[in-house]
Amino acid sequence: MATLRATVPKQVTWGLLVAWAVHDLEELATMAPSSRRIVTRLRSRYPQLPGGVWERLEVSPAHVAVAIGLMGTVMAAAAAAGARSGGRSGFYQAVLAGFGWHAVGHLAQAAAVGGYAPGVVTAPVVVAPFSVLLTRRTGAAGGELSPSRSRMRPPARGGGRWPRGSGPRCHPALRGGSRRKGRGGVWGDGGKGD
């Protein structure tokens, strides 16, 4: 006799896109002006660092908007995959885990700069709780990831848990003009992607 697995309702899997939108609205409103303030603070704290470091940390409103738009396509695709699969899609589960773990980065950034960092308000009250609750729910539904891999664990280096072209890659993709000479690829890594 076949065992029926629980599924996650479509409106719950689409909640990933809603939670992401709430979080990224905070980033859209604050990232460009905050980056200038943070760079000024860190530059005075660490004057020994070369100027190129600071140039890479400061972002324009257009840069932020395009990066958020690129990330939005990844989040929408993941939510759709989750809706189609009842929360069992490996892609959906990996993006959900990545979304949750990136909240830690926001908190670490705020600690590092000694104050507000973009996304730090919604990271602990929207991103982390939503991701933990939904990861538990998708774990009950099963999925393409093994049960041990679908839990809230940070992605291993080179483990493929972050969808290619997302998250940490969206901002560097827009930095094509700031690559160092002699290094190819959009990320300045010879086109290898990692």
**Tens of each residue's pLDDT in the chain, 194 residues:** 455 566 888 888 999 999 999 999 999 999 999 998 998 888 888 889 888 888 888 889 999 999 999 999 999 999 999 999 999 899 999 999 999 999 999 999 999 888 999 999 999 999 999 999 888 877 656 655 544 444 444 544 444 444 444 455 455 555 554 444 444 333 333 333 33
**In the prediction, which pLDDT does 142 show?**
63
Reference 87, options 1, 15, 20, 165; nearest CA is 15
Residue 123 located in a structural domain:
yes
**In the prediction, which pLDDT does 140 show?**
59
User: How far apart (Å, rounded) are the C-alpha atoms in residues 107 and 120?
Assistant: 6
Residue 143 located in a structural domain:
yes
**In the prediction, which pLDDT does 187 show?**
33
**In the prediction, which pLDDT does 67 show?**
94
Measured CA angle at 30 (ends 114, 11), to 5 deg: 110
Which residues lie below 8 Å from residue 134, measured CB to CB, with a gap of 6+? 8, 12, 13, 15, 16, 87, 96
Residue 53 located in a structural domain:
yes
Helix axes 128-141, 15-45, angle to 10 degrees: 140
Judged by DSSP in three states, 88 sits in coil
Residue 51 located in a structural domain:
yes
CA 107 to centroid of chain Cα atoms: 13
Residue 120 located in a structural domain:
yes
Please state whether the predicted TM-score (pTM) of the whole model is above 0.95: no
DSSP symbol at 123: I
User: How far apart (Å, rounded) are the C-alpha atoms in residues 20 and 149?
Assistant: 22
User: Which residue segment(s) compose the domain that 156 sits in?
Assistant: 10-176
**In the prediction, which pLDDT does 6 show?**
65
Residue 191 located in a structural domain:
no
Residue 67 located in a structural domain:
yes
**In the prediction, which pLDDT does 162 show?**
42
Residue 166 located in a structural domain:
yes
Phi-psi region at 73: left, alpha or beta (left = phi > 0; alpha = psi -120 to 50): alpha
Total count of domains within the chain: 1
Measured CA angle at 87 (ends 21, 85), to 5 deg: 110
Q: Judge whether 132 and 16 are in contact, CB under 8 Å.
A: no
